[in-house]
Amino acid sequence: MDEELKRKIEKIYKDTEVEFPERNRMVVKTKKASILSILEFLKREGFRQLKAISCVDWIKECEFELIYHLAPLNSPLHIMVKIRIERKNAETETILKIFENAKVYEREIHELFGVKFKGNPDLSPLFLENWHDLPPFRKDFDTRKYVKKTFDEIPSVEDRNERT
Amino acid sequence: MDRKNILKWLKEPGKMGHKYSLWAVYFCTGCGIIEVPPTITSQWDAERFGVIPVATPRQANLFMITGYVSVKTLKAIIRTYEQMPEPKYTVAFGSCPINGGMYWDSYNTIKHIDKYIPIDGWIAGCMPRPEAIFIGVTKLWMMIDKGAATGYIRYRKNYKFYRRNQEKLFGKLPWPPLYPVDEKENKNG
Amino acid sequence: MVIKIIEFIFSPFLAFIIGVLFLGLFRKIVARIHQRYGPPIIQPLLDVIKLFHQKGFSHGALFDLGLILSLAGSIVVILFIPFGGICPLKSSGGLLVILYTMLFLPLGIALSGGEGANPNISIGISRKLILSLGYEVPFLLILLSTMSFYRTISIVDIVNSQKNFHWTLFSPLFLSGIAYFMILPAMLGMRPFDIVSAPQEISSGPAVEYGGKYLGLFHIQHSFSIFIMIALFVDLFLGGGENIFYFFLKMLTIFFIMVLIHSVFPRLRLEQALRYLWKWPTIFAFLGVIISKVVR
């Protein structure tokens, strides 16, 4: 089944590479433009479950890698569809029309990496509170500096009492 | 209950009542809450000390902050703490609320919880065992006896400083101040 | 005259002491069943003392008045219930007065909690009123059967005619006694029927906004209501008591069985509870009414 699927994908989408890094794992590397159609194709093939969307920051190559994890309900095959987007002005199409549960994943990635998803109606902050800095999961975000800037700046109330 | 305590009961029923009937609000932050179920159930039975969990902050007078506190949780903690009736006691539990613990350089975890709400006692460890909770409770009894557990009084006295610290972190808070805040002094200090 | 006044003051006080003691015993017995040591028996008393020394929040005039209404209703009921030879108000229509005044107990809490404006309170109160609707039907039938069996509406007369072990439970009316026993956990708010104050679902239901001395009054009302429900059972079906000690012993037995039931059963859903209450206890109570008509 796996080889058959590989042949099908490579036949329809010319600029995609399909690999099998280990048993029951399949990696589909594709371009940003064809993500919607390839996801739709895979959904029609039986991969009806979007497990997660993850994001990797490749800072040396100036690119984000978005990984869509798909799984069918009846076989152990796990598909990772990978696309690369530019780090500057990072934005891509939302996949809400195909998988509705992508809403929260996209919201989270937008908050933690700053990737914009065109067409997602709700990209408001999910975890962070009163955040004005760089998105925290980017590689060029300095946590230690941020901690010094925000948390260590706040004075202790009890010590103030002892001094006076 | 000791027979020697009867005189104390007649003299200061309120203080003894607070001492022997600590009701802890069921508020779970972080991983420390994993230690609370064995503490309140058969193995270690906290009820023999009068410590029971209650479901709402209105009825509680003991607040155990169990484990690391993220920024969003701190907001809920402050709201819960301000709803509790006085006198109220807080115990920070585990090393994360004390100084950040293993999250000392995390961007979203509070480092020193006592900058935002007053803390009466600390239980160190990662995680402290249930026995440590009992030692903490008995220490709290001693503090209540001596009148040293004054977290709520300090909170009322220094409310504007606590509020200022909270607002530094959250921006403008959506709820009104619990105690009156003098606006002029707030700007100068 | 002086004895009368002492009785008036003494009986609510005794009811409070017995109710609080029962609550303490309740916690101790449940702890022992869980293989724990358990709190001291006077722990609920310590809790009430603590609560009266705490700051409370009032949510409006009705919040206070409803609680007081419920408390006053329970005190009036206690004055009408004879226990162990003590009965401050020996009116001829005692049972009917008890019947009407007992309505104040859930109603006062409902009025008071309605002011709290917490969604958990309104869920808890609707559960409480529906549950009281559930046990009220068999309860009325049971009272009707006992009244028509003894041809009197005075509770003192009913107690007096059960002297020398002619208990109603051993008379042809035992079906009504069984029905009362079956609805007793629902009236006490104990485990198969503790849907009103379910701490895990609706964070202790109507009590969610009570704190400090209001919660103390709430606890006192609860201990009063425990006393009333069990004392009424002992009076109607177990022949009252020659003195306070025997009366207390009978109450203790009933309460002990109730605690055992409490500690083994899981909580029912509301509609399951209502279905149960309107089925078996109602059938038994109805049979009791028919028997009381046939026998006399």
**Which position has the higher pLDDT, B71 or B1?**
B71
Cross-chain CB nearest to A143 (options B107, B118, B171):
B107
Burial class of residue A62, CB neighbours in 10 A (0-12, 13-18, 19+)? exposed
Burial class of residue C64, CB neighbours in 10 A (0-12, 13-18, 19+)? middle
Least confidently predicted of B122-131, C13-22, C109-118: C109-118
Determine contact: A136 vs chain B, CB below 8 A: yes
pLDDT at position A54, please? 92
The token pair at C70 is 């419920």
Cross-chain CB nearest to C43 (options B18, B50, B55):
B50
Q: What tens digit of pLDDT does each residue of B131-181 get?
A: 888 888 888 888 888 888 888 888 888 888 888 888 888 888 888 888 887
Confidence band for A153, pLDDT divided at 50, 70 and 90: confident
pLDDT at position A46, please? 81
CA distance C200 to chain B (A): 8
CATH T-level assignment (fold) for domain A2-163: Beta Polymerase; domain 2 (3.30.460)
pLDDT at position A1, please? 66
Cross-chain CB nearest to B21 (options C38, C46, C204):
C46
Whether pLDDT at B75 is above 60: yes
Q: Does A143 contact B105 at a Cβ distance shorter than 8 Å?
A: yes
Task: Supply the range of the domain harboring residue C259.
Answer: 2-295
Q: Does C54 contact B54 at a Cβ distance shorter than 8 Å?
A: no
Confidence band for C199, pLDDT divided at 50, 70 and 90: confident
pLDDT at position B189, please? 42
C132: amino acid identity, one letter: S
CA distance B187 to chain A (A): 15
pLDDT at position B183, please? 60
Determine contact: B154 vs chain A, CB below 8 A: yes
Residue from A112, A146, A154 whose CB has the most chain B CBs within 10 Å, to mutate? A154
pLDDT at position A144, please? 87
Whether pLDDT at B42 is above 50: yes
Beta bridge partners of B108: none
**Which position has the higher pLDDT, A82 or C88?**
A82
Q: What tens digit of pLDDT does each residue of C236-276 get?
A: 888 777 788 888 888 888 899 989 988 888 888 888 888 88
Whether pLDDT at B106 is above 80: yes
Confidence band for C92, pLDDT divided at 50, 70 and 90: low
Residues 20-49 of B with CB under 8 A from C: 20-21, 23, 41-42, 45, 47-48
**Which position has the higher pLDDT, C150 or A164?**
C150
- State mean pLDDT over C195-199: 78
**pTM, full prediction:** 0.84
Cross-chain CB nearest to B108 (options A127, A155, A160):
A127
Nearest to A59 by CA among A80, A82, A88, A81: A88
Percent of chain A exceeding pLDDT 90 equals 5
H-run or E-run covering B185: helix B183-188
Whether pLDDT at A164 is above 70: no
C162: amino acid identity, one letter: Q
pLDDT at position C238, please? 83
pLDDT at position A161, please? 55
Neighbours of C, requiring at least 3 CB pairs below 8 Å, are B
Three-class DSSP category at B4: helix
**Nearest-CA residue of chain B relative to A143?**
B107
Q: What are phi and psi of C40, to 5 degrees?
A: -65, 155
Chains C and B touch (3+ CB pairs under 8 A): yes
Confidence band for B2, pLDDT divided at 50, 70 and 90: low
Strands (E), chain A: 17-19, 25-30, 49-58, 63-71, 78-86, 91-93, 116-118
Chains A and C touch (3+ CB pairs under 8 A): no
Q: What tens digit of pLDDT does each residue of C214-232 get?
A: 888 888 888 888 888 888 8
Determine contact: B161 vs chain A, CB below 8 A: yes
Q: Does A153 contact B168 at a Cβ distance shorter than 8 Å?
A: yes
Query: Could you report the predicted ipTM of this complex, rounded to two decimals?
Result: 0.83
Residues of chain B in contact with residue C51, where contact means CB-CB under 8 angstroms, are 17
- State mean pLDDT over A68-77: 86
Neighbours of A, requiring at least 3 CB pairs below 8 Å, are B
Q: Does B85 contact C212 at a Cβ distance shorter than 8 Å?
A: yes
Q: What tens digit of pLDDT does each residue of A100-140 get?
A: 888 899 899 988 888 888 888 888 888 888 888 888 888 88
Confidence band for A67, pLDDT divided at 50, 70 and 90: very high
- State mean pLDDT over B27-49: 84
Residues of chain B in contact with residue C56, where contact means CB-CB under 8 angstroms, are 85
Kindly list the domain boundaries of chain A, sorted by start residue.
2-163
- Cβ proximity of B46 and B20 under 8 Å: no
Q: Does B14 contact C53 at a Cβ distance shorter than 8 Å?
A: yes
pLDDT at position C1, please? 77
**Average model confidence (pLDDT) across chain A:** 85
Determine contact: A146 vs chain B, CB below 8 A: yes
- State mean pLDDT over A38-47: 85
Cross-chain CB nearest to C215 (options B42, B59, B84):
B59
- State mean pLDDT over B71-95: 88
Whether pLDDT at C15 is above 80: yes
- Cβ proximity of B15 and B144 under 8 Å: yes
Residue from B27, B43, B58 whose CB has the most chain C CBs within 10 Å, to mutate? B58
Q: Which CATH class is domain B3-158?
A: alpha beta
Confidence band for C3, pLDDT divided at 50, 70 and 90: confident
- Cβ proximity of B159 and B178 under 8 Å: yes
Q: Give me the long-range contacts of C245-253 (CB less than 8 A, separation at least 24).
A: C245/C84, C246/C84, C247/C83, C247/C84, C248/C18, C248/C84, C251/C18, C251/C22, C251/C227, C252/C22, C252/C25
Whether pLDDT at C117 is above 50: yes
Nearest to A24 by CA among A85, A78, A61: A78
Cross-chain CB nearest to A147 (options B107, B170, B171):
B107
Give first-to-last CA distance, chain A, whole Å: 76
CA distance B45 to chain C (A): 6
DSSP result, C176-196 = HHHHHHHHHHHHHT-GGGTTT
CA-to-CA distance for A20 and A79, rounded, in angstroms?
Answer: 10
Q: Does A157 contact B72 at a Cβ distance shorter than 8 Å?
A: no
pLDDT at position A163, please? 47
Q: Does B20 contact C46 at a Cβ distance shorter than 8 Å?
A: yes
**Average model confidence (pLDDT) across chain C:** 84
pLDDT at position B86, please? 82
Residues of chain C in contact with residue B6, where contact means CB-CB under 8 angstroms, are none
